[in-house]
Amino acid sequence: MSTGVYTKTFGDICRDALRDAGIVAAQLPITQPHFQLAQSKANDVLAAWQGLNIHLWAETEALLPLNPNQTEYSLGVGGDHCFTEYTYTTTTAAIAAAAVVIPCATTGMSTTNFIGIALEDGTRHWSTISSISTGVSVTIADALPSAALSGAGIYVYSTKIDRPVRVIGGRGATTHTGDEKDLIQETRDSYFKIVNKLDTSSSINSWYYSPQLTVGKLYVWQAPEDCNQILRFTFVKPQYVNQDQTETVLIPAEWLLAFKWAVAYELAVTYGIDPNRLISIAQKAESSLSLALGNDEEYDSFNFQPG
C-alpha cells in the first residue's frame, strides 16, 4: 500500500458541488451549462478567499534588489526585477564598459534568464542571457553601460513574481549575504507623510505596500545610495484561477471540503433551492471552513514561568 497526496480536479469539485447542492441528481450526467456556472462560482470563491487573512500555504519569500535613489517599485509580471527563485554569484574579473561577456560561475543559469550585474558606479544593469560558456562566462543581450569590478554581485532568475495579494513582512540587508534587519511596516498615511523620502543617509528602515489592480506598488524608506541593498519579504501569492475541469485544484487537501461546500452554497443561492436545504448547505459550508481555518493557524512557542 502506498501513500500519496490527495488531490481533486476542478471538475471533481464542480460536479460534487452541483450534486451536494441538489441541483443535479447523483445518477444523472452534468450538462455543460451547469458545469460552466459551477466553474464561475468556484473561481468566485477562490477570489473571495484571497481577501481573508488566511492561507499560510500561499505565503512565500521574495527578494527585491534595490536601486539607488529609488523609493517606488512595481511588483508583478510586468514590474521591477523581483523574484522567489534565483542564482547569486559574482564576477570573476573586472569588466570594461560596453562589454557583453560576463566572467562568472554559471551554475543554475539558463539562456533567456534575466541577469542583473552591479556596476562600479553603484547602479545595477539588467539584461538577459544570450549564451553560456559553461563554468566560465555568460554573454548578455545588452552591453554594460559602464564598468564592473571583479567580485561584483550578480542576480540571475527566470520569472518575476505575480502581483502580491498582501506583503506580510519585510527584512532589509546591505548585501546579499549580510545580516537582515526587520523593517517597519508603514500605513499609507504614515508613509506619504515622510518628508525626506530620497534621503540616503542610512540603510532602508521601513516599507509600505499597495496591491492596486494589476501591478502592486511597494514603497521603501530610506532610498538606497547604491544597488547593494536588498529587501526580502513574505507575501501572499494570488490564487490560481482554474480554466479547465481536468486541472488539479491548487489548494491543500484539508481545504477541499470547505471549497466544495462553499461552491455548493453559491450554486444553491443562484438556483433558488428549498430554503431549508439552503440553510443546511450554509451550515456545512461554515463548519468545514472553520475546520480548514483551524488547520491554517500558525502557533508561536511559549514558556511557562513559575510565579
What pLDDT, on the 0 to 100 scale, is given for residue 301?
47
pLDDT band at 299 (very low <50, low <70, confident <90, very high): low
Mean pLDDT score, 216-233: 95
> Which residue type does 56 have?
L
- Is the model's pLDDT at 25 over the cut of 50? yes
What pLDDT, on the 0 to 100 scale, is given for residue 250?
86
pLDDT digits (tens, 9 = 90+) for 241-278: 777 888 998 888 899 999 999 999 999 999 999 999 99
Q: Which of 55-69, 124-138, 280-294 has the lowest mean pLDDT?
A: 55-69
pLDDT band at 293 (very low <50, low <70, confident <90, very high): confident
Nearest to 262 by CA among 6, 56, 17: 17
104 Cβ contact partners less than 8 Å away, ≥ 6 residues apart: 89, 90, 91, 92, 137, 138, 154
Q: How far is CA 196 from CA 192, 220, 221, in A?
A: 10, 12, 9
- Is the model's pLDDT at 97 over the cut of 50? yes
Here the cell at position 204 is 532602508
Nearest to 164 by CA among 34, 45, 281, 60: 60
- Is the model's pLDDT at 306 over the cut of 70? no
- Is the model's pLDDT at 298 over the cut of 80? no
